[in-house]
Amino acid sequence: MEDVPIAVIGAVLLLLSAGAVAAGIMPMSEVLAIADRVWPILLFVLAITVVAELAALAGVFDLASAFLARTSRRRVGVLWLLVVGLAILSTAFLSLDTTAVLLTPVVVAVARAHRLDPLPFAFATVWLANTASLLLPVSNLTNLLAVESLGIGAGTFLALLGPSALIAIAISVGILWTVFRRALRGRFTPAAPPAIGDRTLSWLAGAVVVILLPLLVSGVPPWVPALTAAVVLVIVFVWRFPRALRPALVPWQLLLFASGLFLSVGVLESLGAPAILQTLSGTGDDLVALWRLSGIGMLGANAVNNLPAYLALEGVADSPARLGALLVGVNAGPLVTPWASLATLLWHSRLTAAGVPVSWMRFALLGLVAAPLAVGLAVVPLALR
């Protein structure tokens, strides 16, 4: 399920959905309703991906990581905790896929430059990409769907899921620290600062990102500031580095994949899937009921993928607490199988390209410990509201 297979899967799902429409299984009015709901979300995904890619090309993440290395005062554990903080910030405002795709190779390069084991840093980026994606609406595609469903803003979303996000993050960090504690002891030798070809471009791109972050939670539809930032960065690159502008900056594979998922889940709903899922997930806002729903979301994400798991179960999450529990399951739960979230697949492909081997068996075993703990405890604040 890397780039080409993702596009192929999306195209197949779109063709199957078109066949369902032609056969009268799903009316065209439902297709138009889905399109009307998801176009702002897909536009945000496109824009924020372009922003993140151009910021990375300008060296923004390299400069940020080098700053963390200096700030850590040569302590390995402090550097790792600072990377954790950067991963949380990147995920919260720029989405989990940005952290997995763009931050992972940067922190691996930083670890190698300082002669450190890259695995603690690599695991931090992928686990925090998933668990920290509970923080803000823009952190995960599932959150944007939930916000649109509830009709709430970033502040209300943070009030609903902020405590759950903090618990999931704390559990992730605690388990990773315990597992990698030996590699995180001691001090490291400072490395040379990263080579930045165009400092003006780096500072301009960094300024755009810094200005963008608060705008993403200002109450304006997120696609508006994201698209504006993307346009500004494209103009800056036309001036400073036009050769970097290429069609590959547009995440067409991800857009095709997401579009196919949206429509295929609509087809399943037309076939009566909600009734089956209602029976499985039950009802109610008490702790046991919320555990039941979040557990099904976690299992669905690890069995298939977190986005279709959310889309299939959204209809039975009929209250803010239940929708929050579902988000906990599909956001913090995809830590076991490699396909549970697209971010995990993209993370692994970046590590492979960087020559860092990761055993899926080890990944799954650690996830089997972390996912139930993170999901189970993160749901508790929702039941106490």
Q: Per residue, what are the HEC states of 275-317?
A: HHHHHHHCCCCCHHHHHHHHHHHHHHHHHCCHHHHHHHHHHHC
Give the per-residue pLDDT at 202.
93
| Phi, psi (degrees; rounded to nearest 5) at 89 | -65, -45
Which 8-state DSSP code applies to residue 132? G
Burial degree of 287 (CB within 10 A; 0-12, 13-18, 19+): middle
Query: Quick one: pLDDT at residue 242?
Result: 94
- What residue segments make up the domains of the chain, in order of their start? 36-383
Residue 75 three-state SS: strand
pLDDT score of 259 = 87
Give CB contacts under 8 A, 24+ apart, made by 77-83: 77/184, 77/185, 79/110, 79/114, 79/116, 79/188, 80/120, 80/121, 80/124, 80/177, 80/180, 80/184, 81/173, 83/107, 83/110, 83/121, 83/124, 83/125
What amino acid is encoded at 286 in this protein? Answer: D
Residue 277's identity, in one-letter code, is L
How far apart are the C-alpha atoms of 242 and 378, rounded to whole Å? 45
Asked if 212 and 89 touch (Cβ cutoff 8 Å), the reply is no
* β-sheet bridge partners, residue 187: 75
User: For the chain, how big is the Rg over CA atoms in Å?
Assistant: 20
Beta bridge partners of 75: 187
Residue type (1 letter), 204: L
Q: At what angle do helices 141-150 and 28-57 cross, to 10 degrees?
A: 130
Q: Which two tokens stand for residue 18?
A: 């078109």
Instruction: Give me the pLDDT at residue 56, please.
Output: 87
Please tell me the number of Cα atoms within 13 Å of 348 on its side-chain side.
Answer: 16
- Confirm if 104 and 326 have CB atoms less than 8 A apart: no
Enumerate residue ranges in the chain where pLDDT < 50.
Answer: 1-4
Question: What pLDDT, on a 0 to 100 scale, did the predictor assign at position 274?
Answer: 65
pTM value is 0.85
pLDDT of residue 2: 45
**Helical ranges in the chain per DSSP H:** 3-22, 28-57, 60-71, 76-94, 96-98, 104-113, 119-131, 141-150, 154-179, 199-215, 223-240, 252-270, 273-281, 287-303, 306-313, 320-327, 342-353, 360-383
> Which of helix, strand or coil describes residue 81?
helix
Q: What angle (nearest 5°) sits at the alpha carbon of residue 153, between those of residues 151 and 157?
A: 95
Look at residue 195 in the predicted model and tell me its pLDDT.
78
Predicted local distance difference test score (pLDDT) of residue 3: 45
* Token code pair at residue 38: 């998801």
